[in-house]
Amino acid sequence: MQTRNFNSELVSLEPSLTRYAYSLTLDSDEAKDLVQETYYKALNNQDKFDNETNIKAWLYTIMKNTFINDYRRRVKKQAIFNKDIQEFVLNNKPTDTSPESDFNYRELSLLINSLEPEFRIPFQMHDSGYKYQEIADELGLHLGTVKSRIHFSRQKLIDKLKK
């Protein structure tokens, strides 16, 4: 496809791309960014476009893949787990603390840290946002084992809090 035709096709598809981007992001500013990123990738990969292909479908695929990759990148960035417990606790402390909530947080952190490592580590990973399967893969355990250890950790913490 000639450059002039390709560019005019891109421009004519902007309204439908914007609607699709909004359906993915549910935020107008993020949707605009996603459309812009899609245009950027389409223009950079114009030589890979096959004239036999539906350009709208090609752009939708680029947009969907861009959205998925950005989402995975954000989730992975939030789910980084440092095995040093003190650093983990310091990095996950709530920012808006009152003396009472600070005391409760310290008390709860001590209770969590008093758990045996085989229960504490899966519990903390789950609390940090890891999914059960990710914990199982990371620790080399069966999925059922991870679920039961997290359940038992909760039970132990509830019993300790009652005392």
Give the CATH number, domain containing residue 144: 1.10.10.10
Residue 135 belongs to what domain range?
85-162
Per the rule left: phi > 0, alpha: psi between -120 and 50, beta: everything else, 142 is beta
Final residue of a structural domain among 60, 78, 96: 78
Query: Residue 155: pLDDT above 50?
Result: yes
Final residue of a structural domain among 78, 107, 129: 78
pLDDT score of 113: 85
Residue-wise pLDDT tens digits, 59-95: 999 999 999 988 888 777 665 554 555 555 555 555 5
Give the CATH number, domain containing residue 64: 1.10.1740.10
Within this chain, do residues 107 and 135 fall inside the same structural domain, yes or no? yes
Residue-wise pLDDT tens digits, 85-115: 555 555 555 555 565 555 666 777 888 888 8
Final residue of a structural domain among 33, 61, 78: 78
Tell whether pTM > 0.75: no
User: Is there a contact between 74 and 86 (Cβ–Cβ < 8 Å)?
Assistant: no
